[in-house]
């Protein structure tokens, strides 16, 4: 993943920390996903929901991405694990792409290792962000 500054709202931070505590208490089998999310949270700048720019990917944001190798465009919504449904374009924040997107902004390119090499996606547009729409507690 790229090491640009990332931004997380204090509201999302609270919910993400609660998710992590819950998964650790339940002995969640994918500890690597939890550790990656914890690393991203640790380096994030924490801001109030009303102060976050509308071009930043927050929880429940819907974003348009471009694969930098295939030029394919896709739309994903970043959600908590119970709401994830790849067929509906809802990606868990614990999935590598979900963790990688959180806190980045339009124009940023994220990258992470996949079995076939490195995957690179550019954030083209934030189509919906709860904070920008005044939906602060989704």
Q: What is the CATH number of the domain that holds 98?
A: 3.10.50.30
Give per-residue pLDDT as tens, 78-93. 999 999 999 999 999 9
* Average per-residue pLDDT for the chain: 91
Residue 29 belongs to a domain = yes
- Going by the DSSP 8-state scheme, the letter that residue 125 receives in this structure is E
Residue 2 belongs to a domain = no
3-state secondary structure of 137: coil
User: What is the pTM for the complete model shown?
Assistant: 0.90
Please state the domain count of the chain: 1
- Going by the DSSP 8-state scheme, the letter that residue 52 receives in this structure is S
Pull the structure tokens for residue 65.
């991405």
Residue 111 CA, distance from chain mean position: 13
């Amino acid at each position: 993943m790229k090491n640009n500054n990332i931004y997380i709202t204090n509201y999302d931070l609270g919910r993400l920390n609660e998710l992590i505590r819950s998964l650790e208490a339940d002995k969640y089998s994918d500890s690597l996903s939890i550790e990656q999310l914890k690393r991203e949270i640790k380096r994030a700048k924490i801001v109030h929901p009303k102060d976050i720019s509308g071009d930043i990917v927050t929880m429940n944001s819907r974003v348009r991405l471009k694969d930098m190798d295939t030029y394919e465009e896709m739309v994903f919504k970043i959600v908590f694990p119970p709401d994830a449904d790849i067929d509906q374009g809802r990606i868990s924040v614990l999935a590598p792409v979900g963790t990688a997107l959180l806190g980045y902004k339009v124009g940023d390119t994220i990258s992470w290792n996949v079995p076939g090499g490195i995957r690179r996606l550019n954030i083209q547009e934030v189509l919906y962000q709860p904070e920008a729409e005044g939906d602060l507690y989704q």
